[in-house]
Amino acid sequence: MTNALSTEQNLLRLANRLTELAAWRDLAALPLALTFKWSGGTQLLKEGDAWPARELPVTFSAVLSVPEKWQGQLVILDLALGGEALVLLGGVARGGLNPYHSEIWLGETVEPELELRVEAVPRGLFGTPTYAPKVERSRVLLPDLQVRALCEDLAAAHQAALELNKQGRSEIADLIVDVLSDVLNQIPVPRGDGTAYLTRAWQQPDLRATLSSLWDEWSFTGLPLPYPDADRPALAAAQQALSAKLDAIRQRYPTEGRLALSGHAHIDLAWLWPLAETRRKIRRTFATVLSLMERYPDFTFNQSSAQIYAYLEEDDPALFERVRARVKEGRWDVVGGMWVEPDGNLISGESWARQLLLGQRYFASRFGVQARVCWLPDTFGYAANLPQLLRGAGIPYFFTTKLTWNETNTFPYDLYRWEALDGSQVLAHSFRNTGQGYNGTLGAHDTLATWKNFRGKRQHDTSLFSFGWGDGGGGPTFEMLERFGRQRDFAGLPQLQMTRVAGFYDEVEAQASALPVWVGEQYFELHRGTYTTQARIKQLNRALEHALTDAETAASLAFKVLNRPYPRETFGPLWEVLLRNQFHDILPGSGVKAIYDDARRELETALSAAEQQRDRALQALSDAHGSGERLVVWNLSFDERPLSLSLPFQTGMKLSAPDGRPIQTERQGDALIVCGEVTVPGLGYLCLQIEGQEASEIPIPSHDLTLENEHLKVVINTDGSLASVYDKASGRESLDGAGNQLWLYPDVPREWEAWELDASYSQGGERLTAAEVPERLAGQLEQAVQVRYNAQGSLITQTYRLRHGSRRLEVDTRAEWRGRRLLLRSLTPVQVRAAQASFETAFGTVQRSTTSNTSWEAAQFEVPGHRFADLSEADFGVSLLTDSKYGYSVKGNVLGLSLLRSPISPDPSADAGVHDFTYALYPHAADWRNGTLREAHDLNAPLLAFRSSARGAADQASAQLLSVGHPALRLSALKLCEDSDALLLRVYDAHGTRGEVRPQGLDVEKWTAVNLLEEVRGDGLSFTPYRVVSLKSEP
């Protein structure tokens, strides 16, 4: 068929015909009045009525009854109530309400007086407040299944033609246009009675919007007539003709490519709404998915995050059991393997291990399965050693789509092997859907784009494709599933098949050896501001990571040495708090204020509880070791550490070492500084005898801006910056100009405000100078100079501290942060020339270029790191250490650290208030392997001291309780196993070397290698570079 119209014009013409026919989708409709209940009472509401109150949540209720003549026919509840909502029928969750889901199927037999209850919130999908919520629709429908089915057939073909034409396949699109024109011309539309036609047109949302927008304020609210029975044979004939003609086109133009489909809902644990709302979103989404599964037997769905299931198990046990049944059936796919979908850059190695341990154990205990696919579609970059950890938790496959968001360089692969620092590999896959990304709509645009963009076609004939509205959108819709049935084998489109996610990877596995390999971190070229935003939460995360592992270590020592009960029931919930708040929109700082109010409260509570458990165990151990009045100093790392303490001052103490040497003490304000020419053994203790009450306090003239000990000589400029950091051992000046320059930059990114740090940020900015002459503080054991800055109204106070015997210069910082859209950074040029800088990451170290020779290097102008960044030559280097910061830059010879940001969205008050944190400079011989990790750990987890007069073991004044026989090994965890009282020791190689783990101590004669799930793995005790080794003690 030819006419004067273009393909695009014909498609537009046909779209209007489809809209017209859709007006007859329902045979009949009955209005449904609802009782609205809130704290102030109840009120009966009908369509168009406003809510009498905006509480969160509120409830609607009604008793449903339908006409007797409707029994035996499908009945649908159609609701749009002014916000997201959960629908319960007879007390059973049946589905969620949102812009994409409004129909709840009641079935063909509706119980008399069926109780309806709806729990609603006056919020939109992304937490947007609905300030004037009203009942938009509330009715019971008798659908016209014949008209609906034909409309879906026609719409699927029309959509396919539209997208094929856009993709340059006009030859197929034109054939489909001809078919649609012929079929629509066969369908009688009752247009003869104008009033009846307009009344029916009013039922179609697009036509109603057109008519109601007119000046004359039209409204057609009569009783609409159903589609005439006399014309129904023509509908059936049209549907048959459409099917036959589309089959003929498919014979000429078969499907191209193949997509493996999995339903998905991407429920952000918290983002633009708090956790409490997420719990409601979970119930709405899962109820919707389960109802769809009843109607569409091919439909499969995946969901990650043990925390989400745990919430459901607690909030709606009946709904949880329905999920369990679908998991057992095989249509509900458990993926992820972790407690949440965490941030991929900021969490420690042990946090990754516990994400996997707690997640996989939960899945195994509740569903009898463990996840085999790491599902992280939305995390902002991926740590270099993650593949090793996934393998250690029984997860051979990795999925993301986030790297397709890169703003500068295109990530080269979408089907590849990802190799960790230690050489472990996982099979990795991504897809690029230019439509709705990982929340695909399962329409022709998304499926065509995904197949077109799939670069792994050469190695495999199928790409994965996830579909369903996320973030409260309820996941897949019945429209998507209807579309799947019609486009699964459609001319010119990819062939579609439902799958289990791991099943897709299993098929690829046969070709895995031919796939390209990406080695190391997967740096995300976007969202670099997330290394800094919401600094308090990041600081609490770091502190709790250290406190929890220290508490477990102390409790394990007390269990083995004293037979003291191990508080397993306490540690589990504390880990859950930490892991939950590592979610990729909580820890990165990209959520609304309500999230951080909650996170701060529970992280602070957990930190206090962890410290209490640690201190109780160490006090008990202190009472059991040494004799007389003593101060027992504990070192919970493998490093032998110099005695250096800062204790809360109560009374002065005259102390001596076990060999009788005096220990120096000095009061400085509210602190007692303790230093001595002795060391504390690794994973052990040192008893200091208390011989009286004595502590000196020596004032120093305020004009002296030089700090000096046996290792360093530091000079502070009058503007507050560092003039010199001279390393005595090497005879080298560390600085190449002023050090610790504080810079304040305007911070107004082009988009994604809390997430972004634009590449152009450094083009503006001002260097801060001291508001007054720096002040020398009293003290000899710890020398200090204090500097005050005014940063556009924010008060910054920095105290340079150099303690006796210390090799690092600390910069204690208090910021009274008041401004908005500002970025505070520290810059330190050093006399080191190196092509690469080193940064701590989870269970390892990564090297990044200090140049910008390529676009890949230039894109890394801000990078994530944990406790240190380092720039070293062959014989000398300088490390930048932090106790809570994660955003670094090292370009040229300048060590940069982002200290604070203040974006205004999605939290206008982000980071306002007082911040206390510390960073430090550590000059050293050789590279970072020469003490940087020891100093970084000591900054984050200093020695701990406990006073005791209890009778202990007089001959044990100092001891190492456990050693592992290699200086490159770092302690990650010492705890009891999850299912037994055996010890679990986890160490990792931090230096990139090889050797064997030789644990000695704690009366353990044999250790057996286990994986991260504490299952025996059969290999020995040897390790290779950056290898994580977990060992279980044998009886």
In a shared domain, residues 14 and 35: no
Q: How confident is the model at residue 936 (pLDDT cuts 50, 70, 90)?
A: very high
- Considering only CA atoms, which of 74, 62, 69 is closest in space to residue 31? 62
Which residue, 507, 526, 545, sits at the end of a domain? 526
Strand partners, 824: 744, 900
Q: Which amino acid is at 639?
A: D
Give a yes or no: residue 559 inside a domain. Answer: no
Instruction: With H, G, I as helix, E, B as strand and everything else as coil, classify residue 470.
Output: coil
In a shared domain, residues 373 and 272: yes
Task: Dump pLDDT digits (tens) for 142-186.
Answer: 999 999 999 999 999 999 999 999 999 999 999 999 999 999 999
Asked if residue 603 has pLDDT above 90, the reply is: yes
Give a yes or no: residue 316 inside a domain. Answer: yes
Kindly state the DSSP code that residue 48 receives in the 8-state scheme: T
Asked if residue 1019 has pLDDT above 80, the reply is: no
Reported as half-sphere exposure (CB side, CA atoms, 13 A), residue 381 has a value of: 26
DSSP letters spanning 466-502: EESB-TTS-B--HHHHHHHHHHTT-TTSPEEEE--HH
Average pLDDT over residues 713-726: 98
Q: How confident is the model at residue 953 (pLDDT cuts 50, 70, 90)?
A: confident
CATH of the domain at 870: 2.70.98.30
Give a yes or no: residue 623 inside a domain. Answer: no
In a shared domain, residues 230 and 339: no
Report how far apart, in Å, the C-alpha atoms of 682 and of each of 613, 641, 875, 944 are: 21, 7, 27, 13
Q: Which residue is listed with tokens 């250096």?
A: 644
In a shared domain, residues 655 and 738: no
In a shared domain, residues 210 and 222: yes
Which residue, 93, 113, 143, sits at the end of a domain? 143
| Region at 618 (left for phi over 0; alpha for psi -120 to 50; beta for the rest) | alpha
Percent of the chain with pLDDT over 90: 95
Give a yes or no: residue 983 inside a domain. Answer: yes
Q: Which amino acid is at 165?
A: N
In a shared domain, residues 59 and 81: yes
Residues contacting 659, CB < 8 A, separation 6+: none
In a shared domain, residues 114 and 242: no
Give a yes or no: residue 737 inside a domain. Answer: yes
Q: Which residues are catalytic?
A: 378
CA 921/CA 713 separation, integer angstroms: 12
Strand partners, 305: none
Residue 22, pLDDT score: 97
In a shared domain, residues 732 and 858: yes
CATH of the domain at 1005: 2.60.40.2220
Is the whole model's pTM more than 0.85, yes or no?
Answer: yes
Q: Which residue is listed with tokens 């695009």?
A: 8
**Per the structure block, which two tokens stand in for 90?**
């007879």
- Considering only CA atoms, which of 411, 471, 121, 424 is closest in space to residue 264? 471
Task: Dump pLDDT digits (tens) for 450-493.
Answer: 999 999 999 999 999 999 999 878 999 999 999 999 999 999 99
Which residue, 471, 497, 526, sits at the end of a domain? 526
In a shared domain, residues 850 and 741: yes
CA 241/CA 236 separation, integer angstroms: 9
Give a yes or no: residue 837 inside a domain. Answer: yes
Contact 367, 393 (CB under 8 A): no
In the chain, the number of structural domains is 6
Torsion angle of alpha carbons 231, 236, 241, 242, nearest 10°? 100
In a shared domain, residues 874 and 972: no
Rounded (10°) angle between helices 349-367 and 317-329: 90
Give a yes or no: residue 1029 inside a domain. Answer: yes
Give a yes or no: residue 2 inside a domain. Answer: no
In a shared domain, residues 183 and 66: no
Q: How confident is the model at residue 1020 (pLDDT cuts 50, 70, 90)?
A: confident
Asked if residue 857 has pLDDT above 70, the reply is: yes
CATH of the domain at 47: 2.60.120.260
Residue 951, pLDDT score: 86
CATH of the domain at 382: 3.20.110.10
Report how far apart, in Å, the C-alpha atoms of 42 and of each of 445, 462, 671 are: 46, 55, 60
Residue 831, pLDDT score: 98
Segments forming the whole domain that contains residue 423:
258-526
In a shared domain, residues 35 and 156: no
